[in-house]
Structure 1
Amino acid sequence: METLKVRTYELCGTNHEIGYELGKSIVNIPELICEQTNKSNVVTKEEENYVVELFDKYCPGLNEELQGFADAIQVDSSQLLYYTMTYLRPGCSQVALTPELTENGHVLFARNFDFSHHMEDFALCKTKVVGKYAHIGTTVMQFGRTEGMNECGLGVSQTSCGYPVGAQEGMRKPKIVGLQFWAVIRYLLENCKDVEEALGYIEDMPIAYNINLLLADKSGNMVLVETLDGKKEIKKINEFGNKREYFLHSTNHIHIDKLHKLEPQSMNNSIHRYNLIKEYVDNSKKISEKDLMNFLSLKYPYGLSCNYYNDFFGTLKSIVMDLNTGTFNILWGGLESNIWNKYYLNDNIKSTTQLINIDIEKAPSDFFELIE
């Protein structure tokens, strides 16, 4: 058992003001500044100029926010680790349900995010950038988002599509120059009101991370966008022949046939979790927020919660969102004893800290086994 600290806060203002506020919040915490900066910059000046142009085109406002952060902690913005980490992690499960399947007739969105507790912000943030849509979600490297929903009722989440892509040793090297998932998700939340608008933005966006990007809006539109080494395929909720489907879900393998043919192997645990979600939804009548909370926190192999943190597969956060009411439920650390917290997007979010516990276990011997 380990005890960890999680944070909740709200950010308002221009991108530069938000970045500066973030920087001021850690300016007297040397270890946090060290985590966010890289004194020996590993990108060339040419690469630095390119990534600045990339962010300006596909993530407008991000450069200003990073500059505000750098101003506050008094470093050159090129030393911020976010640039080298995003210029290009994790196992997860997710599902979006149309109103036909839910107890309250709303669109519900649920996900578990699994990775290492040593590589997690443990922070929930409501963000209101001037001129952009307000949204709530958890952060990655402070500036990015792992999932969230915005004031228009758009929900965005992700799972890794195959082996995680990144610049770090041991990860799959990116095949194209492009963005990490956390930059893509935040951009969509801040700039898109619904699924169709988000699809328009994604069409030409270079995404280096291999991602299962799940999009849903409060009207019930849903789509899974899958990327593999720069290739993109889309699966819409209504593209199933004559049979009407009422949910979309993904775990950590490739689900769309055109891409699956290129990489047919999948981890045993990913297939198992994918089937668990399908069986759960198929065998349920009307599903409530509480039902989804119970399912997310049920321990693997009977549910989706995993305790294999030292194997980079521990449940860091479980989330259930109601896209119609703007309700955001979160459980940190996969243990119900940590207590589910409920937030409303329309409310002001108070800055708080909370201590949570995690149980650490070793993954079963066949957990990462590759099968076709």
Structure 2
Amino acid sequence: MDERIRKEVLFKHAVLEGSSYEVGTQLAALYQGRDDYLKLCSTPFYGSAKNTQEEVAKISKLIDQYCPGMNEEIQGFAEQIHKKPQDILLYYSYLGKEELHCSHFAVMPKDTEELYLARNYDYGWDVEPLFLTTKIKGMASHFGFASFLFGRFDGMNEYGVSVTTSGVPISYSTELSGFVFIIAVRAILEHARNVEDAVNILMEMPIGEGRSYIIADSTGKAALVEVAGNEKAYRMMEPKSKQRYLVAANHFSLPEMNQYSTSIVWHSQKRYETMDRVLQNNSSDFDIEDIKSLLSKPVPEGVCTEHYVEGFGTIWSVIFKPMKKKLLVCFGAPKYGNWVEFDFQRKTKNKDYIIQLINEISPSEFWSVPSSEILETVIQKLSKEKDILGVVLVHGYQLDEVWIDEGMDVTVIVSSLGKYRSYYCTQLAGIIVRIHAMTREDLKNEDALLVRSYSTGYPGVLVYTKDETLGEFFKKTFEPKEYGKKIIMFRSAVRAVKLIQQAKISLYRFRDFSGTYLLLINMIQDLAEIEVNLHNEALQNPVLMKAFHENPEFFHSIYTDLIYGQVNEKIIYHTLDEIEAYLEAKADIIFEPVLNYLGKKYEFQGVSDIDDVLGKKYGLSESLYKTLEWLAQKEIILQGTITSKLTYKGKEEFEQLAYFYSTGKFQNERGE
């Protein structure tokens, strides 16, 4: 049975024609009755404040300079939805957020006179793609995918000028003040008649982000333009050029732009290398079917991705043929072959395409970057501090690579905390580095370093030291990775059980299905961490996707069905039962620390004593009472009471809950 998550996405193709103002009113008509989408189009980015009148005036003036007519288009749209023009989202595309996806290339096969420009647009599947045929009086007609209605992701105009882009994470040492790419692409499509025009637009326009552009035209020329704010560079390609292809992914490749790049993510490097290798070896019989193949094969054999849940799946593909002024568009992942041809001679009309997207889990290295350079920089900086005795890479498995969303954890061992912060967060080459400080004295407790870890329990690797005794300490053979796994699973299980108890109260006592639903969703991360560790995998983002890979049946049952199904009494009860059965089946492994502790005692142990010992040892922020109660309910341990005093010298005696575990007698009574 195919357990992959699927989703249907509606692609709209619409034809807009008339004056700029009329095209704006036609855009509003496309979404008549869609209050949710219209609200999105009139809400500032990411909850930011509204633009001031001065900011709107500045941006409007720049739009008039580079995209004349767009202000009138926005006005037509705004009047139709009863909003002020300055509230429309497009005005917030000055200083916008980078989109770090997509692969694109231009190629003129050997011994031919045909030029192709091709790209995959990669993103999450919570999108509403809008493909437009735009014919505005006084401007070049063009095809292109719309961004926030007025901007363009890519496209081709009536002169054959075609443009594609990809985002590049950059260091912020350069001036960032200007438009995001969707305005630049629109300006090129409406006003450029050749590659030179397009390059001039990009070189002159203020741009406030990192991005690569590839442009091609009907004469067989193409250009790669790399932009990091005000820093820009380009390379031209002509029919007589020795290298007859250009390639771009999510990092810069021009030598003069490398200084502005941050770390190169695995998926970007592999896509770039694949495109470069395939296009370098192209022959005279290299044709459009070969291009489709490159766009369709998964990374690293090709450049297609289907990791939609992770925000990185191919939503559409385009192959431009600028010398023939035609383009092929594939709605959805190209391997399914939903290709449609468009040109400027054929009359087009509005049409909807409903495409099914299928999610695939990314390989473990997909979001990683090589950690050696980052680590070298960290060591170089920290070693200059005379009081630092050693540097520990807390996540030992990150010696070769680090995941971009997770960052890197480093512990510095100092002679005295005195002038040092116990925690410091910095950024190096685009990667978050969290630095924890601890003293040499702290290392007398082997668990101290384990508890220091930001998101896992791995003790880590000593990567630099001035103290030989530190080296000896880290050579101890106490199976640190195995020990760390147990800590992670135990802490995750304790949190999950606490949420289970809260969910039961919400469900049984208050009949609050929505509240129970939220508690179940909050449990998923802890369950995923347990699953990943059970399979001896290193924790990494996204942990949930890795857990899906290891145990698809269980996680589809408790997550996919819950997220995409209707929330009702039946599914809530089912999910809760599934989670409890899962934890109970693995109790001897995931609750091993508490079972081992109780198993070594010959009498009932009070909750307070258990908390004092295990809470401190494993860095637990809450009492183990809920966990012990749940284990007793499942008849894994025995519950009773003991008499104790509130203080060591107290006079009054109280009864407190106590627990007992026998690896022999008690299990036999359970019939095992």
- Matched residues in 2 for 1:362 and 1:35: separation? 29
Give the aligned partner of residue 202 of structure 1: 202
Residues 27, 72 of structure 1: 8 Å contact kept: no
Residues 212, 248 of structure 2: 8 Å contact kept: yes
1:34-183 aligned within 5 A: 34-38=39-43, 42-88=50-96, 89-98=99-108, 100=110, 105-118=113-126, 120-162=127-169, 175-183=175-183
Give the aligned partner of residue 367 of structure 1: 366
Q: 2:261 aligned with 1:269, yes or no?
A: no
The C-alpha deviation readout for 1:110-164, integer Å capped at 9, x for no partner, is 100111222x34121111110111111111111111111111111111111236x
- Structure 2 counterpart of 1:245, from 234, 239, 243: 243
Residues 169, 262 of structure 2: 8 Å contact kept: no
- Matched residues in 2 for 1:35 and 1:322: separation? 34
- Matched residues in 1 for 2:267 and 2:183: separation? 27
Higher alpha-carbon deviation: 212-221 or 326-335: 326-335
Per the TM alignment, residue 259 of structure 1 is displaced from its structure 2 partner at its CA by 1.5
Structure 1 residues 236, 37: CA separation in 2 closer, same or farther (over 3 Å shift)? Answer: same
- Matched residues in 2 for 1:86 and 1:311: separation? 27
Higher alpha-carbon deviation: 66-75 or 337-346: 337-346
- Structure 2 counterpart of 1:284, from 270, 275, 282: 282
Which has more strand, going by share of residues?
1
Structure 1 residues 338, 7: CA separation in 2 closer, same or farther (over 3 Å shift)? Answer: farther
The C-alpha deviation readout for 1:289-314, integer Å capped at 9, x for no partner, is 22211221112221111011122211
The C-alpha deviation readout for 1:222-260, integer Å capped at 9, x for no partner, is 11111113211112226xxx9811111111101111110
Secondary structure of the 1:117 match is coil
Which one has the largest radius of gyration? 2
Higher RCO (C-alpha 8 Å, min separation 6): 1
| Structure 1 residue ranges (4+ consecutive) displaced by more than 4 angstroms after TM superposition | 172-175
Structure 1 residues 207, 368: CA separation in 2 closer, same or farther (over 3 Å shift)? Answer: same
Number of corresponding residues: 359
Question: Sequence identity of aligned pairs in percent?
Answer: 25
Residues 161, 193 of structure 2: 8 Å contact kept: yes
Per the TM alignment, residue 272 of structure 1 is displaced from its structure 2 partner at its CA by 0.7
Give the aligned partner of residue 33 of structure 2: 28
Q: 2:232 aligned with 1:232, yes or no?
A: yes
Give the aligned partner of residue 169 of structure 1: none
- Matched residues in 2 for 1:337 and 1:92: separation? 18
Structure 1 residues 47, 261: CA separation in 2 closer, same or farther (over 3 Å shift)? Answer: same
Per the TM alignment, residue 273 of structure 1 is displaced from its structure 2 partner at its CA by 0.6
Structure 1 residues 100, 151: CA separation in 2 closer, same or farther (over 3 Å shift)? Answer: farther
Residues 8, 349 of structure 1: 8 Å contact kept: no
Secondary structure of the 1:158 match is strand
Q: If the length of structure 1 is used for normalisation, what is the TM-score?
A: 0.90
Structure 1 residues 188, 7: CA separation in 2 closer, same or farther (over 3 Å shift)? Answer: same
> What amino acid maps onto 1:284 in structure 2?
N
In structure 2, stretches of 5+ residues that fail to align are 1-5, 374-672
- Matched residues in 2 for 1:174 and 1:6: separation? 37
Per the TM alignment, residue 349 of structure 1 is displaced from its structure 2 partner at its CA by 1.5
> What amino acid maps onto 2:54 in structure 1?
E
Residues 106, 218 of structure 1: 8 Å contact kept: no
Residues 146, 153 of structure 2: 8 Å contact kept: yes
- Matched residues in 1 for 2:226 and 2:253: separation? 8
> What amino acid maps onto 2:11 in structure 1?
V
1:332-371 aligned within 5 A: 332-337=331-336, 339-371=338-370
Residues 187, 201 of structure 2: 8 Å contact kept: no
- Matched residues in 2 for 1:304 and 1:327: separation? 23
Secondary structure of the 2:188 match is helix
1:313-332 aligned within 5 A: 313-332=312-331
Q: 2:11 aligned with 1:6, yes or no?
A: yes
Higher alpha-carbon deviation: 31-40 or 260-269: 31-40
Higher alpha-carbon deviation: 290-299 or 5-14: 290-299
- Matched residues in 2 for 1:99 and 1:62: separation? 38
Structure 1 residues 338, 353: CA separation in 2 closer, same or farther (over 3 Å shift)? Answer: farther
Give the aligned partner of residue 17 of structure 1: 22
Residues 297, 318 of structure 1: 8 Å contact kept: no
- Matched residues in 2 for 1:341 and 1:355: separation? 13
- Matched residues in 1 for 2:233 and 2:11: separation? 36
Secondary structure of the 1:23 match is helix
- Matched residues in 1 for 2:105 and 2:204: separation? 25
- Matched residues in 1 for 2:55 and 2:145: separation? 28
Residues 124, 308 of structure 2: 8 Å contact kept: yes
Residues 177, 229 of structure 2: 8 Å contact kept: no
- Matched residues in 2 for 1:243 and 1:22: separation? 42
Secondary structure of the 1:65 match is helix
Which has more helix, going by share of residues?
2
Secondary structure of the 1:95 match is strand
Q: If the length of structure 2 is used for normalisation, what is the TM-score?
A: 0.51
- Matched residues in 1 for 2:339 and 2:42: separation? 33
- Matched residues in 1 for 2:345 and 2:188: separation? 19
